[in-house]
A and B are shown apart, each in its own frame.
Chain A
Amino acid sequence: MSTLEQTAVRVPAAPAPGAAEPRRRRRLRPTQWIGVLFVLPASLYVVVYQLVPVVYGLVLSFTEYSPLSRSGPEWVGVANYFALVGDEDFGRALAVTGQYVLMVLPPTVAIALGLAVLANRPFRGIGFFRSALYVPHIVSLTTVAVVWLWMYSPNGLFNEALTGLGLPPQSWLLEEDTAMPAVAAMRVWKALGSNMVLLLAGLQSIPRELYEAASTDGAGAWRRFRHITLPGLRPILTYVVAMDIIYLAQGFAELFILTGGGPLASTTTVNYLIYTEAFQYNSFGSASAMAFVLFGFIAAFSFLSIRGIAGRRS
């Protein structure tokens, strides 16, 4: 009997229109039970510690809720979301968040790519070079921010350097024009290592033969980079950009330590506003609504960046 015939024999007859489909209880085989049991702990972990808080957060966004209240959340429908539409502080925080991502993402990816290309060449001390660049990534963001806070302070390293050059010291974190660039510079430095390592892995996955063939055909360094390296890096570049958008749009710790959201709210991101709303003003409902609007923006921009870099088919 052919495969086609075997399949035909196994296909059950379609039930007559209007007839009730016979309900059959199917039992799992012992091996399948074992599979379920193996999956269950991890699934429970994901559900209890990740899915439930998200679902609960979504539910809270339709309520008015102070954790101090004895009455529990009070259902207010979409009022929290409507309130955000006309909320100047939230609108400004969204703009600041976008500005922060734009200030950090392009230079981080560009410099990390340059460093990855450098680190992809064999030379003496390459291991140390790669490790040194990766170190900022393994240090806690809070610790890094505290160190940079000292470096930006009036008597800190940067002002000492400026004074040494005969230039006037700057109030890096106290001026509206310089606070965000100062935070962004720290974040670029912090993010370089991880981005570089990912891009380096991407570079090393590009077949050498392509470069050799291109060289044989007379392609110069720029054309090899443009037509082999960049297309070859596309998958990992997509990942790097998407992850950077997700992390940067949730920026909080570095801003909390370096600027406290100021001066003049110039570094108050949406996540900072959420923290204030939830933990300073005890408004968990509106804070949750902000979180889900932010989630929507992050998801949309991540999707657009993936589409833009990886292309529609990917």
Chain B
Amino acid sequence: MSSSSSRGAARRLLALALAGPVLALSACGLGGPPTADPAESGGDGTHLTVWFPGTNATEIELVTETIVPRFEAETGATVDVTFLDWPDMSTKLNAAYAASTAPDVFGHGPAAVADFVANERLTDLGPFLEQLDAADREDMAAALPGGQVDGTQYLMPLSLQASLLVYDADAFTEAGLDPDQPPATWVEAKEVARELTERDGDRITRAGLLLPSHPIGLQQSFATLLYADGGSQISPDGTHATFASPEGTEVLDYITDAYSGEQAVAGSLGQDLSTLPPAQQPLVSGDAAMMIATAPQVQQMMAADPDLDLRVAPAMSFDGSTAPAAFGGAGPGLMINADSPEQELAWEFISYLVSPEVSVEYTEGIGAIPMRASAASSAYVSESPVLQAFLAAAPAMVPNPNVAGWVQVRDTMARHLEQAANRKVPAEEALSRAAAEVDDVLGRAG
């Protein structure tokens, strides 16, 4: 036998051996994931896999060492809890769904819900909720809408989240302002901010008012002011953008003027304050006198500097002509994988986490706003003026819309808002362009 012919035979053999896996894997991938029928696969009600978003050490310890072991002891079930870094959450969930290995229960922000719903990946929690007392449901009324898509409950929020104006009372006093009389409108807030702003030549050394201005923060600042001005982001039926309006232009100009021009009250446009450690937050370092912040941020700042006298202003109207509103609503929550064979146990786990005592224990552990109105009487809230202020704003909270394609809508808005905030294009033009692109995204997602 010649060497060339044997090499040829070897090559053919190798090709055959390798072509098998190639074709098999390609075929698997193109066929799409198999669909599990929870009714057919039927779990035995003893084991649950749960993915939580976040890497907060306190939350991880509380959930894995206190809450889950107690649930396991009460039910006799075993629960495998995995905490995932927020930026990895969508990536890993998508991969798990594609491979049919998604967990029974998983947590995420409300912004992600509609896309899961559009692909029939979530269990309708309505029938489970109906099993609860009416009073129990009423107790959670402020949080539940944030977990709904087209009126159907898919996400059970574990906390409320809101962005409110927070200010340094000492800075007010130093500037001759009354710290017990915070601004009543956003227009007034900017006037106060001008008095609080400190400069070294052209450079702002202490911002009078800091609005979140990194891309996602910019969209949230815009939503905060837009809601306060009586505007909306998306039409009620979720089909088209509504932010390209006179109110939208007015609040976008407000943001732009806050960061540049002679009347500017802040610098560092685009800085992501949410990633700064508490001790480096502008209110702690003295780099700002007022800022928009969330409840956990405020509590962390106060813990970083106990001498700091931080106060929270109530939800505000933009200029006093409309009802006060605040950007917020349901915080991250839990959903049930529609393919999970453990539907009952999954709901049992969720309802345990949102039960009155455990809910307060959980939100206290992570410094969040409780999702139940009854939590106002708990020691956690009643002893904290900050939480009381945030909980008092709950009726005025307006969340981002829960529509399919929201993440892309948000990013599209942020990109154009950034253009306007940097004075690359006028506010009206930026909003008009953003609206056209958002309509396209909503059209494709819908």
Contacts and interface: CB of A to CB of B under 8 A. Distances in A.
Interface in B89-148: 90-91, 94-95, 97-98, 115-116, 118-121
Interface in B49-88: none
B115 A282 contact: yes
Nearest to B213: A174
B444 to A, nearest CB: 10
A280 B408 contact: yes
B94 A68 contact: yes
A85 interface: no
Interface residues of A, number: 45
Contact of B214 (A39, A59, A260): A260
Contacts of B5: 24, 26
Interface string A54-68: 011001100000111
A174 B269 contact: yes
Nearest to B29: A56
A176 interface: yes
A48 interface: yes
Interface size class of B (residues with CB under 8 A): 35 or more
Interface stretch (B155-163, B248-256, B368-376, B417-425): B417-425
B119 A66 contact: yes
B285 A69 contact: no
Contacts of A73: 29-30, 32
Which of A39, A48, A69 is the most central at the interface, judged by chain B CB atoms within 10 Å of its CB?
A: A69
A263 B270 contact: yes
B377 interface: no
Given A48-B21, A56-B25, A68 B10 contact: no
B379 interface: no
A254 B90 CA distance: 20
Which of B95, B203, B407 is the most central at the interface, judged by chain A CB atoms within 10 Å of its CB?
A: B407
Contact of B10 (A32, A48, A174, A263): A32
A32 B22 contact: no
A262 B270 contact: yes
B97 A174 contact: no
A59 B272 contact: no
A221 interface: no
Interface in A132-182: 153-155, 168, 171, 174, 176
B358 interface: no
Contact of A28 (B10, B91, B119, B203): B10
A36 interface: yes
B280 interface: yes
B422 A264 contact: yes
Contacts of A282: 94, 115
A28 B6 contact: yes
A47 B119 contact: no
Interface in B240-284: 267-272, 280
A52 interface: yes
A129 interface: no
Interface string A17-47: 0000000101111001001100110011001
Nearest to A47: B18
A51 B19 CA distance: 11
A263 B1 CA distance: 67
Interface string B1-25: 1000110111001100110011001
Given A26-B5, A52-B25, A68 B215 contact: no
B203 to A, nearest CB: 6
Given A55-B22, A281-B408, A29 B1 contact: yes
A73 B29 CA distance: 8
Interface in A254-302: 260, 262-265, 276, 279-282
B403 to A, nearest CB: 14
A60 B26 CA distance: 10
B443 interface: no
Contact of A154 (B119, B268, B419): B268
B145 to A, nearest CB: 23
B33 interface: yes
Contacts of A72: 30-33
Contacts of A47: 18, 21-22
B1 A174 contact: no
13 contacts: A27-B9, A29-B6, A35-B10, A43-B14, A68-B98, A71-B32, A154-B271, A154-B287, A176-B422, A263-B269, A280-B408, A281-B405, A281-B407
Closest 6 CB pairs of A and B: A72-B32, A67-B98, A67-B94, A68-B119, A174-B270, A47-B18
Interface of A: 24, 26-29, 32, 35-36, 39-40, 43-44, 47-48, 51-52, 55-56, 59-60, 66-73, 153-155, 168, 171, 174, 176, 260, 262-265, 276, 279-282
